[in-house]
Amino acid sequence: MLTFERQELILSLLKENQIVKIQQLVEETQASESTIRRDLTELESQKRLKRVHGGASLITKKLEEPSLLEKQSKYSAEKSTIGKYAASLVKEGDSVFIDAGTTTKTMAEYLHGKEIVVVTNGLNIITDLLDNGIKTYLLGGYVKAGTHALIGRGAVESLNSYQFDKAFIGANGADTESGFTTPDPEEALIKSTAIDKANNAYVLADHSKFGDVSFSKIKNLNEAEIITSEKLDKELQDKYRKYTELKVVHIN
């Protein structure tokens, strides 16, 4: 087989599968591992694909650079750890809803290469998902300026045509009396609906969210599990455990 031929084959396999492993390519092309590696290096330098450990993935143009603001945002280490743990809950074959927001965004990069289907209402996390070779569906609807979340009738209707194994939701407040809350009623409706459509619902919340109450209620505490970090006081952890299950993540 000609070099050119083989490289085209690699690209077409990649387009089909979003992501390919080197061993897979060795089998398909009957070439040695070395040769495949050289092909991948060359194709990457041509910007026709992106190499990842163990194989290659489709290249995607960034929708937006991760803004400085996001990087500097509060508790980013904590959020990242929470996101990583949330990603570990996702198993091969799962269908998953991931909410718009900064905490949920950190999940995306840890989902790399998993054979799953993700539905989201957050434009901010689309590129992360695609870069990691995830099959991604987006809700339709009105694009809220600022957060770039999808809301409104269209979004809810879109949502109603899906079922999820797991839903990962962000919230601005988690309070024993008021439950999970968020400022925008429209967003609250999306989050609430997503929880309803999932077998397992998780709210991702760093320690600063506990005790806070926002304008719009999403759900009661007992309607979703909480993923948080050890930064939350032991006392408070125990308090909240009376209302719902709490997954407390250790921070490095």
Partner DNA sequence: TCAAAAATCAATCACTTTCAATCAAAAACA
Partner DNA sequence: TGTTTTTGATTGAAAGTGATTGATTTTTGA
Binding site for its own copies (CB under 8 A): 2-5, 18-19, 21, 47-48, 52-55, 57-61, 63-64, 67-69, 123-124, 126-127, 129-130, 135-143, 145-146, 148, 150, 152, 154-155, 157-158, 161
Parallel, antiparallel or unpaired: strands 50-52 and 55-57: antiparallel
Which of residues 161 and 222 has its CB atom nearest to its own copies in the complex?
161
Question: Is residue 54 involved in binding DNA (CB under 7 A)?
Answer: yes
Residues 212-251 that bind DNA (CB under 7 A): 250
Q: Which does 140 bind (CB under 5 to 8 A by kind): DNA, its own copies, none?
A: its own copies
DSSP 107-126: HHHTTTT---EEEESBGGGH
Q: Which stretch binds DNA (CB under 7 A): 26-34, 96-104, 211-219, 240-248?
A: 26-34
Q: How far apart are CA 211 and CA 75, in angstroms?
A: 17
- Find the angle CA(24)-CA(26)-CA(30) to the nearest 5 degrees: 130
We find the least distance from the C-beta atom of residue 91 to its own copies, in angstroms, to be: 22
Which of 52, 59, 89, 236 lies at the binding interface for DNA (CB under 7 A)?
52
Candidate list 9, 11, 13, 22; residue touching DNA; CB under 7 A:
22
Return the half-sphere exposure (C-beta side, CA atoms, 13 A cut-off) of residue 208: 8
- Other CB atoms within 10 A of residue 65 CB: 9
> φ, ψ for residue 58 (rounded to 5)?
-60, 150
Nearest approach, Cβ of 191 to its own copies (angstroms)? 17
